[in-house]
Amino acid sequence: METCSRTIHGLPLLRPGEDPDEIVLGCLGKAAEYYDVDIYGFGFASTHVHLLHSAEHGLQMSRFQGHFNGNVAREMGRLHSHPEKLWGRRYRPMAVSDDRESQRARLKYVLSQAVKDGLVARVLDWPGPNAAKALLDDSPLVGYWFDRTKEYYARRKRIQFEKYDFATRYEIGLKRMPAYLNDSPEEYRGMIAELIEEIEQEAAAKRGGRSVVGVEAILRQDPCTPIVAGKKGKKSPAPMLFYSKRPELREGMASDYQDFLDEYLLGSARMVEAAERGYHLDPRLCLPTGSQPPMLADTILQLSGFNPETAFPTRSFPRAWPYVGGELPPPPTSPPTRKLALLQVDDHWEVVGRGEIPTVHVPRLDLDRFVKPSVKQPISIYPIPAQEIRHLPEPARAPP
């Protein structure tokens, strides 16, 4: 999956800097570890973010993106004293096909953000978090997750603490894209080097000798002032829902989605129709695997006197666990922050010793996850055809 999020009004609220960089990488590492998401590449600019990552189903993607975007918005607002919202709209997702050509093209686009926009001349010159450098030299990206809750209670107890006393260090290892898992590390790094060379040559030809903005000008930007006053930021049209360099694969992805949507709409209609007759149907048998019950069906069922909280099994529909097809793996426990040794002096506490900052390693490559043969779950079939629902007997009702 590729996702894109843009700041409101094109404000450079993601401007590179020591504090913003380690905060953004810390939020990315926390979200990737919490929701078990593989990061293949990213492109951070002052006004938008592109992420190329894995997603087994829509619920995992939405919760990962909501965790990352929500915490980045709170941290950047706190850092730049920006009280309003940070993101201009909901993130834009796009599924990428599993062929090598398509995945290479999307990674090239994600890595080219700063160069194609004329900000820097070379990909490695970008002063912020740089996925290209991590992919080339196989180095982890380091960020920090700050426990603001513990900082808040420390301030209330008048405990003097330093910047990293309630922080967790995250080391993020970018993984190889699924289509390139059979390549050796040297071959994959060679492909990345070719991508970077293509990006820089195409951008230089497009500029035609014009100079770039430069690192110094980027770092001087005011986060709360639009880059180009009075003008809207550049937004090129993005592919809709699916991306593939091969037309036949793109048509196949669209066809699969249409089949999924047809089954989803048919299952929703069956649920509503049966509920109107007083029958409680399990959405795991009515809806396709990997989907979520629709809010519209929930509203119709409640208006018809149907209580979804008692009709369906626990953790199935709609509020306890809104995901059909199985449960998500339990999230990992929150890592401990640095342990402080405190000493009470009069009516306040003083720090007399500090422990090590805990580090969470987000794995770089897990081949066992990909070598196992993928078993596609069969499409769930509703046991009672839709035309037979109308002929079901009325359920027995208690006398008034």
Cα–Cα distance between 118 and 27 in angstroms, integer? 27
pLDDT exceeds cutoff 70 at 300: no
Taking each helix axis as running N to C, give the angle between helix 18-34 and helix 58-80, from 0 to 180 degrees, rounded to the nearest 10.
160
- Answer whether the bond into residue 308 is a cis peptide, omega within 30°: no
The pLDDT of 90-107, averaged and rounded, is 89
> Which amino acid would we find at residue 189?
R
* CATH superfamily placement of domain 2-245: Transposase IS200-like (3.30.70.1290)
pLDDT of residue 335: 76
- Which tens digit of pLDDT belongs to each residue from 227-243? 764 445 556 666 666 67
Higher pLDDT, 372 or 308: 308
Name the band, by pLDDT with cuts 50, 70 and 90, for residue 66: very high
Inter-CA distances, 76 with 71, 86, 151, 216, 293, Å:
8, 8, 17, 21, 34
The pLDDT of 249-274, averaged and rounded, is 78
Lowest mean pLDDT among 62-71, 119-128, 156-165, 299-308: 299-308
Question: Could you tell me what percent of the chain has a pLDDT over 70?
Answer: 75
Please report the sign of the dihedral spanned by the C-alpha atoms of residue 99, residue 101, residue 103, residue 104: positive
CB 340 within 8 A of CB 306: no
Average per-residue pLDDT for the chain: 78
Output the DSSP codes for 306-330. Answer: --HHHHS-TTTSSSS---SSSPPPP
Cα–Cα distance between 285 and 266 in angstroms, integer? 12
- Residues in CB range of 170: below 8 A, 6 or more apart: 25, 26, 28, 29, 30, 33, 142, 143, 144, 145, 359, 360, 362
Which sequence spans correspond to the domains of the chain? 2-245, 252-326
pLDDT exceeds cutoff 60 at 134: yes
Higher pLDDT, 140 or 41: 41
Name the band, by pLDDT with cuts 50, 70 and 90, for residue 367: very low
Higher pLDDT, 4 or 347: 4
CB 50 within 8 A of CB 126: no
Give ∠ CA 125-80-110 in degrees, rounded to 5.
Answer: 35
pLDDT of residue 380: 37
Taking each helix axis as running N to C, give the angle between helix 185-207 and helix 100-111, from 0 to 180 degrees, rounded to the nearest 10.
50
The pLDDT of 64-87, averaged and rounded, is 92
Inter-CA distances, 111 with 99, 178, 262, Å:
19, 18, 36
The pLDDT of 351-360, averaged and rounded, is 88
pLDDT of residue 138: 81
pLDDT of residue 67: 93
- Residues in CB range of 12: below 8 A, 6 or more apart: 46, 47, 221, 222, 223, 225, 226, 227
CB atoms inside a 10 Å sphere around CB 151: 17
Lowest mean pLDDT among 7-11, 176-180, 310-314: 310-314
pLDDT of residue 389: 47
CB 94 within 8 A of CB 238: yes
Name the band, by pLDDT with cuts 50, 70 and 90, for residue 249: confident
Structure-token match 């993607």, residue found = 61
Higher pLDDT, 28 or 370: 28
Q: Edge-to-edge strands of the sheet including 359-362?
A: 141-146, 167-172, 359-362
pLDDT exceeds cutoff 90 at 63: no
pLDDT of residue 327: 58
Lowest mean pLDDT among 122-131, 214-223, 255-264: 255-264
pLDDT of residue 203: 92
pLDDT of residue 366: 46
- Residues in CB range of 48: below 8 A, 6 or more apart: 4, 5, 6, 7, 14, 113
pLDDT of residue 299: 53
The pLDDT of 393-398, averaged and rounded, is 51
